[in-house]
């Protein structure tokens, strides 16, 4: 009798485990799909794109259309950084005709994208013109430092020959009025921060080819990989620190050891 009871109990437990496993998987998939839709990047940068996120046992498939090629990787990197995601099948299509690579129109898009994720410059407050690789910036910068940083970021885009910064500097806020503080880490989800950092590093000429890994926990970004020298490593930290939502950066990158001459 005792043996039969044990067998019955084991059967019940086994049945419960088998039944609950698909339920847990379905719950995780639903949570992934919801988190993607609610993420900062999807609600801010990808809000005008038509993206469908479908998760099956942690394998996410992205379908639909986006306005720019960079949006494909931004969506993929955001979703890939969500808890529970095992892999991402990116089937997104770019709608409309895209500018030829390295053309003035292409440079224009790249400059605007580079400014987009950095909090100490204003992408919306900067107008970009490009003529034969020469970039002209107009608009209003919040400070002289912000103006100079805008020039620096624009200059670091592939095929930019030079930058003419004609931006004006905003007057000092009136007494008693404080400038708006930039977004802080707890207002932006970690997956979106990771995706923004990856996009920013890729958009800059000086870091586009740098082999990096990026992860974020509570707004703290950890960067790993290999840098050619200490200057490159420091630049990665500088660019990552200026991304929307980043609280701090931990740079664990190693420096490539030059091969001794034979």
Q: What is the pLDDT of residue 155?
A: 94
53: left (phi over 0), alpha (psi -120 to 50) or beta: beta
The pTM for the full model equals 0.82
Residues 6+ apart with CB under 8 A from 151: 137, 163, 165
Classify domain 32-98 at the CATH class level: alpha beta
Specify the fold of 185-255. Answer: 3.30.1340
- CATH 3.30.1340.30 fits domain 104-169: yes
Domain parsing of the chain, residue ranges: 32-98, 104-169, 185-255
Instruction: Give the residues of the chain that fall short of pLDDT 50.
Output: 2, 174-186, 261-262
Residues 6+ apart with CB under 8 A from 132: 104, 161
Spatial separation of the C-alpha atoms in residues 50 and 136, rounded to whole Å = 32
Q: What is the pLDDT of residue 13?
A: 52
Spatial separation of the C-alpha atoms in residues 125 and 216, rounded to whole Å = 28
Domain 104-169 and domain 185-255, same fold? Reply is yes
Q: What is the pLDDT of residue 3?
A: 56
Q: What is the pLDDT of residue 20?
A: 52
Taking only the tens place, the pLDDT of each residue in 15-31 is: 555 555 565 667 889 99
Closest CA to 70 of 88, 46, 37: 46
Q: What is the pLDDT of residue 246?
A: 95
Q: What is the pLDDT of residue 19?
A: 53
* Cα–chain center distance at 4: 58
In the three-class reduction of DSSP (H, G, I as helix; E, B as strand; rest coil), residue 125 is classed as coil
Spatial separation of the C-alpha atoms in residues 247 and 203, rounded to whole Å = 21
């Amino acid at each position: 009798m005792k043996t039969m009871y044990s067998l019955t109990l084991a059967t019940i437990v086994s049945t419960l485990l088998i039944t609950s496993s698909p339920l847990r998987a379905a719950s995780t998939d639903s949570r992934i799909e919801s988190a993607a839709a609610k993420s900062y990047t999807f609600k801010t940068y990808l809000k005008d794109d038509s993206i469908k996120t479908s998760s099956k046992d942690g394998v996410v498939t992205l379908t639909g259309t986006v306005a720019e090629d960079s949006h494909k990787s931004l969506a993929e990197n955001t979703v890939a950084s969500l808890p529970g995601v095992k892999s991402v099948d990116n089937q997104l299509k770019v709608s409309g005709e895209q500018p030829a690579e390295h053309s003035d129109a292409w440079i224009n898009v790249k400059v605007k994208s580079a400014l987009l994720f950095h909090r100490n410059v204003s992408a919306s407050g900067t107008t970009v013109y490009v003529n034969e690789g020469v970039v002209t910036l107009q608009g209003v910068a919040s400070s002289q430092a912000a103006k100079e940083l805008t020039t620096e970021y624009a200059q670091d885009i592939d095929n930019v020959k030079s930058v003419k910064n004609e931006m004006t500097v905003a007057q000092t806020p009136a007494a008693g009025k404080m400038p708006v503080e930039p977004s802080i880490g707890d207002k932006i989800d970690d997956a979106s921060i990771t995706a923004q950092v990856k996009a920013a590093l890729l958009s800059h000429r000086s870091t586009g080819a740098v082999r990096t890994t990026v992860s974020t926990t509570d707004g703290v970004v950890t960067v790993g990989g290999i840098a050619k020298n200490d200057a490159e490593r420091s630049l990665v930290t500088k660019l990552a620190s200026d991304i929307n939502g980043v609280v701090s950066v931990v740079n664990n990158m190693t420096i490539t050891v030059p091969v001794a001459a034979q």
